[in-house]
A and B are shown apart, each in its own frame.
Chain A
Amino acid sequence: MKSIKDLERVKEQALAEIRVRSSSGSPRVTVGMGTCGIAAGARETMLAIIDELKKRQKLDVTITETGCVGLCAKEPIVEVHIPGEPRVVYGNVDVARARQIVASHLVNRKVVDDWVINIRKEDE
């Protein structure tokens, strides 16, 4: 049985590894794909993001998905995470907004303030 001190050290090591992992590597786009997201158009949002990234030859981005985060009225929800920068969560991301977010945030590194519903520091 480990002591509390040992466990805290293990926790610190793990958190440090997570911080290294999340601040390196490629930008990541996460699309909410719960039932509410799908019904609100998340599939088309995701495909628009893939299409726009391809058109702009921005091929180093990783696309991933998550389930319902409890903000169904704001679906489709998209989180953009560029390593070393805060995670930006956008709401009501339809196809047009998705393309704009790719161009502005992922390509030109400019957050689209009007559609932001949350900004989280990297380790939150």
Chain B
Amino acid sequence: MMDISLHLLDLMQNSARAQATRVVLSISEDREKDALTVAVIDNGNGMDEEEKRLALDPFYTTKKGKKVGLGLPLVVQAARMSGGDVKIESHPVSGTKVEVTFSLSHMDRQPLGDIPATLISFMAGNPEIELCFQYAGDQGAFSMTSSQLFSHEEKETLGQIALLSLAEKRLRAGLARAGFRPDGGGVIG
């Protein structure tokens, strides 16, 4: 994975496969604390203690016919190589929260990447899931919920392609207003 936004898309896909009906993606940048915290929270089928322990093993997967499950191990690697870590909270009934921390200024931290692209592609593939997004940075904050992103009239009259294009425009504008920028990562950013 080239950047953090791709890891996040992969984690959100895990939520979709866990039959979540609601997925929350939160990103928080704190330059004073030199911390970048991202989290994916869902209400899907969570994990018991044993599954949680095995989730970070690249040779463990719940998918039938597959021998590897690389999503979470790759996130762990990306976090740890930049002075961060991954925390998983999960319960079989209530869902899962995966929180990943990075040291903002660490030279090995991957760039945050194209967050709107991650959100739009997830919305395209999972229209039935309510997606909530929260961003908080030093310059401002932005939040949106997929079900409230469009007016009733827009939902009635526009097709999927037109709605996704409109969503992308609104997300990019909202994030720009909040001072969000897809940084270069590490010391470059």
Contact = CB atoms under 8 A, between A and B. Distances in A.
Interface of A: 31, 33-36, 38-39, 42-44, 46-47, 50-51, 53-54, 58-65, 67-68, 70
B13 interface: yes
Interface stretch (B39-47, B94-102, B117-125, B134-142): B117-125
A64 B74 contact: no
Q: Which of A47, A53, A60, A70 has the most B CB atoms < 10 Å from its CB?
A: A47
5 contacts: A33-B9, A59-B162, A61-B160, A62-B160, A64-B125
B1 A65 contact: no
Given A43-B117, A46-B125, A50-B124, A67 B17 contact: yes
A54 B161 contact: yes
A47 B120 contact: yes
Nearest to A64: B125
Q: Which of A35, A53, A62, A64 has the most B CB atoms < 10 Å from its CB?
A: A35
B13 A67 contact: yes
Nearest to B71: A35
Interface stretch (B62-70, B82-90, B172-180): B62-70
Contact of A63 (B1, B9, B161): B161
Contact of B124 (A54, A58, A63, A68): A63
A39 B1 CA distance: 5
Given A34-B13, A38-B6, A46-B125, A67 B159 contact: no
A50 B166 CA distance: 11
Contact of A65 (B6, B117, B126, B160): B126
